[in-house]
Amino acid sequence: MAKIKDFAVVDLFCGIGGLTHGFVKEKFTVSAGVDFDNTCRYAYNTNNKAYFLYRDITNLTADELNNLYPKNKRKILVGCAPCQPFSIFNYKNNNNAERQAVDNKWRLLYSFANLIEATQPEIVSMENVPQLQKFNNGKVFNDFVLRLKKNGYKVSYGIVNAQNYGVPQRRKRLILLASKHSKFELIPATHKDNYVTVRQAIGHLPEIEDGEHCKDDFLHFPRKLSKLNKKRVLATPEGGGWKDWDDSLVLECHKKQGGQMYSSVYGRMSWEDVAPTMTTYCIGLNNGKFGHPQQNRAISLREAAILQSFPEKYDLIDPDVAFNAQILARHIGNAVPVGLGQAIAKSIKKHIQTIDE
């Protein structure tokens, strides 16, 4: 029977290490992460003790990727191409420049497939947004699956919600698993009826004001609110939003019929529910239901990281770089939740135990 010590993992599009950290928690050897955003290097290295290669995946060669694996280890390749969710309707109606930008992001999946084909890892995992299955009538995703099958991989995939794996957040993702040995699937839900709530996740953190850094944790920092937005958050009950306000506080755009669909913006989270999906704008009160359930502010960067299931001590602040809340929010919102990464790692660990030497 094969053992996880026989394998090493390389994480493409690694970001600050959400997926990697899930594998680290399951005692895998993660030899390297690759990402085009060099501002992720500090957090990735510091928390995972793995090599960070700053590289555009489209320029990564098969030899370079193979060299990231220790000589005596078998290969596992994982990754999440950075594709922001978008609707097919919006894609069809965007201008050419916007459509080209979207196309370039989805083409990263073809680069991922090229590297799999060239390096032949024994096990592969791909995590992405559910919309990938529908984009361009499913062509991008189907091409990826077909390439894997042509190279001898047995493939399974499905859409899961991160809240079912201990992540205190409602976040649907497409998970693909592939192996040269046999077909295997993601482990069953671990938290199907006992979700981790917002209260359980962040209720213990010190109270702070908007614009204030916690004295014990510099990352526990929410953005400063304008006077008007302070009035708005004061008028918002737990779990509520702008529809609970006096008419004088409501934005003109929300009074129009088209604005009614944006009911979650300026909302507060509920203590006894999971959080909404963390985005790259997760600390902006006006960007979603990102208000603290009780305190009169948006959530802090630390709270956002915890709601992405990062450990409370996960170090995101490079002491040699000026603090930038916007960049840190992007890092957090783009990450694979650690709890979901751990579920993927557990699934691969279980599969490895079925592989004969």
Instruction: Catalogue the active-site residues.
Output: 83
> Rounded CA gap, 243 and 240, in Å?
8
Closest CA to 224 of 206, 241, 212: 212
Contact 53/68 with Cβ under 8 angstroms? yes
Backbone conformation region of residue 120, classed left if phi is above 0, alpha if psi is from -120 to 50, else beta: left
The C-alpha R_g of the chain, in whole angstroms, comes to 21
> Rounded CA gap, 69 and 57, in Å?
16
> Rounded CA gap, 124 and 154, in Å?
10
> Rounded CA gap, 266 and 290, in Å?
7
**CA dihedral (253, 256, 258, 263) positive or negative:** positive
> Rounded CA gap, 51 and 31, in Å?
6
**Residue found by looking up tokens 């909404």 in the block:** 276
Cα end-to-end span (Å), the chain = 5
- H/E stretch holding 113 reads helix 96-119
Please give the distance of CA 121 from its chain centroid, rounded to a whole number: 23
- 126: three-class secondary structure by DSSP: strand
Contact 293/323 with Cβ under 8 angstroms? no
> Rounded CA gap, 147 and 10, in Å?
20
Neighbouring residues of 257: CB distance < 8 A, sequence distance ≥ 6: none
Q: How crowded is residue 267: how many other Cβ atoms within 10 Å of its Cβ?
A: 23
